Amino acid sequence: MHEPTRRRTLKLTAATGIAAVAAAAVPLPVRGAAASPHRPPNGRIDTHHHAVPPRMRQWAVEQGIIPPTGGPSWAQWTLPDTLATMEANDIAVGVASAPVPPEVFADRKVAESGVRVCNESLAELVRDNPTRFGFFANVAMLHPDLALRQVAYALDELGADGVLLTTSAAGRYLGDQAFAPLLAELDRRGAVVFTHPFSPKGIVEVPGVGGWLGDFLLDTTRTALSLIASGALDRYRRLSIILSHGGGFLPYMAGRAERWGREDGGPDPAKVRRALRRFYYDTALPMSPYATPTLLGAAGAGRVLFGTDWPANSAREVTLNTADLDRDPGLDRRAHRAIARDNALRLLPRLAGGRR
């Protein structure tokens, strides 16, 4: 098979937005992981967990987004591999999502049919495995009126646990006025929003350096800052927003954001500090002895959720990352349990019926 061009690669990643190509799908044990003093007794809840059920995959093939055979490993998602990886890492529940670049849904007919297929596929996964999965629904962000109807169908009829919004759409970030009607409706419902990044527009490619290494984190940071600067966090107080990958660079550069308010016309520094503890953050950076102290210092353990990024992360990486999290010296037993399970149950109470 010929090496895909950049254009083809972008098409291949469009179905779920997962840019990292997963390696082997068979879970591999990590020495010492089972002996960790922090393994949660009732199983972890994975809030950054992707899925490509058969009907969704068929739609992506029909759209020419992925090939009928082969392609990236994430496109070959299977339920048995997923459950095996979950069992290997004591993951009780995965909150499935399928990040699709909003531009894929630029055509209104594609937006209507494609979003419905994605959401109904994930709802079927939950219906068939009610103790193992929840899901975040897709919406057509570039079609505001359609997005509102999709929110209602997903939350009221399909039983979604929340809504997935990409960090940017057509170069606009979530604090943009274009998304105000959607955020207002989600706020009215007290909904949970899971944000997922893609590479920002205008980024210069660095040979050998994948966009997921730095550009994804920048896109998350940009959308968080746009929500702060626009006042959206203050207007939509009932909205719960999860920032993927540990919040990108936000916790690390928060001091710079405070300077923004002191000298460059940005929000008051106190507003920035409040915002840091307003967001939720998942551990799919992944967390590490490098990142943990900063994230906990910025947000506190009560705002952090366990996340694996499966299957963008291979089974091997999920196991390595999870074992490292269990052994992280920055987490005591109480903080670890909150991150592994309790914070997600508080935020997503429907998951309380999952495997114990």
**Tens-binned pLDDT, residue by residue, of the chain (356 aa):** 333 333 333 344 444 444 333 333 333 343 334 434 455 557 999 999 999 999 999 998 998 888 888 777 778 899 999 999 999 999 999 999 999 889 999 999 999 999 999 999 999 999 999 999 999 999 999 999 999 999 999 999 999 999 999 999 999 999 999 999 999 999 999 999 999 998 777 777 888 888 888 899 999 999 999 999 999 999 999 999 999 999 999 999 999 899 898 988 888 999 999 999 999 999 999 998 899 999 999 999 999 999 999 999 999 999 999 999 999 999 999 999 999 999 999 999 999 865 43
Instruction: State how far the Cα of 174 lies from the Cα of 223, in Å rounded to an integer.
Output: 6
Q: Is the pTM of this model over 0.85?
A: yes
CA–CA distance from 59 to each of 63, 173, 251, 257, 333 (Å)? 6, 27, 38, 42, 44
Pair 331, 301: CB distance under 8 Å? yes
What are the structure tokens assigned to 25, written together?
A: 């799908």
Instruction: For residue 168, list its beta bridge partners.
Output: 173
Q: What is the dihedral of CA 150, 215, 74, 155, to 10 degrees?
A: -20
Which pLDDT score is estimated for 38? 54
Q: How far apart are CA 199 and CA 202, in angstroms?
A: 9
Q: What's the pLDDT score for residue 39?
A: 55
pLDDT for res 73: 74
**DSSP-based three-state secondary structure for 195:** strand
Pairing status of strand 168-169 against strand 172-173: antiparallel
SS3 91: strand
- Output the DSSP codes for 19-79: -SPP--SS----TTGGG-TT--TT-EEEEEEE---HHHHHHHHHTTSS-SS---GGGG--H
Cα pseudo-dihedral 120, 311, 329, 291, rounded to 10: -90
